[in-house]
Chains A and B, each alone.
Chain A
């Protein structure tokens, strides 16, 4: 186990140096069942400028982060084949690698690169994948994430979720000088960009299913209001600004509706807004706090947090309304559920006697499902599933500030993403992007 961790850490030393944009990475655990894979540095055979991205390194870091792979450290990659015909399988078998990725950059159309890569099964000496992607020089990281997705899918049978983005909130400064920002970055924390800055709190970012818009809560009008912002153009609309709380927006799977928590009736209830007509329908009716709606992937039901039984727990209600069913029974406090795409796994912030950790309810196991606690902190919150449910992002507090972690859904591999300054919180993993 220790050796695995050391291997993982070694593999990441080089990656860490490449992180110039504020987010830092650290793997804090390891898993013995991770598959060994060697990613050979891609040869540059193009006449264009030397590439600004080490594609093999990006792929390695992605696969390691999933917890399902451990890539061979760069210094142990002792041969550098770039096409299948150059591979000497004995070498990789001796290095105890199950899989091997080789590739090269050649000239593409109109000054772009053509990236050719192959995935091989070392034991069978068999090519599993041979594909080419076209990318401009600024898009090489995106191309590398897409290759990682394809490799991940070919081996595990589940599409990868590396070529995705994350949204999160940052806060810096104190008192009158506080500065809040709604940020979007690549899934590995690279290329952070701010979508909105404010001296008033911003919270609860939520992606539209097409990944083009983000709904969030802003206090810029003195009270909470819900905004929907277009990522590409930056234009935004205030969709809910009623008396009382306007919070917890969540897009329906078809993108036509927004579930939200409103207290305009005098009490905080779940509502659904039709975005075209802006008409809202009240879904819950109870004197307790009902908030944090999340849609089931079929759009037929909504999961939410309610303290109708005393402490907050997760409930499920038909998206047309009706009487809710309680989903969570273990843990004193369960809130902010994130629903896996399969509708069988639920991640939530679970509180027990002053300690808040991320718990995953897996309904594929046992009768009513089993619950695993997958984070070790004291104030862990805001879990968000990757679109393939292989990983979860969450927020933790360390040394008096907020940091983000990604963790494999089994809890075995965690990676910290730390912003250089201030608090980072409320990560939201984007939906899958369309190629």
Chain B
């Protein structure tokens, strides 16, 4: 991860946390995940006309909810501070919308054996699942699928690429 991306992420997180807490208007940001976020919702409507509850449109517009990837350290499944902020708003979304469903895709970097990495991807997915449940999400809304090292976002043999691949992707299968 280069410095620019890092700074951008920090900036995103800052706006994201504020977005979750105060439901301010969405801030235009770069994409940080594979989810298509180019279509912005109608932001002429006040965002907090719903008692501070999230609605489906917030998935595309809310700066925090738009972050769908959580990263991990090597051979670790601990959720760091940055990830905690992202998960807090997704947990709130799941709580606000009991019909929403999420698949948590767990991934590992290329080092070590493939089957062990499947286990590691699942452990990371489970860690995210637990964090979401601890903050109000329900286990029945969450499905963990581990892809191990099979679906890397990059394939270079470098610390940068490995860091991008050690991740859990949050995918909404029902909004």
Interface residues of A (CB under 8 A from B): 201, 203-204, 219, 222-224, 244-245, 247-248, 261, 263, 268, 289, 291-292, 305, 307, 311-312, 333, 335-336, 349, 351, 354, 356, 378-379, 381-382, 397, 400, 426
Contact = CB atoms under 8 A, between A and B. Distances in A.
6 contacts: A245-B146, A263-B119, A291-B115, A335-B112, A349-B113, A381-B112
Contacts of B145: 222-223
Name which of B111, B118, B155 has the most chain A CB atoms within 10 A of its CB: B118
Given A223-B145, A263-B122, A351 B111 contact: yes
Contacts of B114: 203-204, 336, 381-382, 426
Contacts of B113: 292, 305, 312, 335-336, 349, 381-382
B115 A333 contact: no
Interface residues of B, number: 23
Contacts of A248: 115
A340 B147 CA distance: 30
A245 B150 CA distance: 13
A379 B145 CA distance: 25
Interface string B107-125: 0001111111011101100
Given A222-B145, A291-B118, 15 more contacts: A201-B151, A204-B114, A223-B145, A224-B146, A245-B146, A261-B115, A263-B119, A268-B119, A305-B113, A307-B116, A311-B75, A335-B116, A349-B113, A356-B111, A379-B111
A305 B150 contact: no
A287 to B, nearest CB: 10
A85 to B, nearest CB: 55
B35 to A, nearest CB: 15
B101 interface: no
B115 A201 contact: no
A261 B119 contact: yes
A397 B112 contact: no
Contacts of B146: 224, 244-245
A334 B75 CA distance: 14
B156 A400 contact: yes
Given A247-B118, A378-B157, A354 B150 contact: no
Nearest to A310: B75
B87 interface: no
The 6 closest A-B pairs by CB, nearest first: A289-B119, A201-B150, A335-B113, A336-B113, A248-B115, A268-B119
Contacts of B116: 289, 291-292, 305, 307, 312, 335-336
Contact of A245 (B111, B112, B119, B156): B119
Contacts of B150: 201, 203, 219
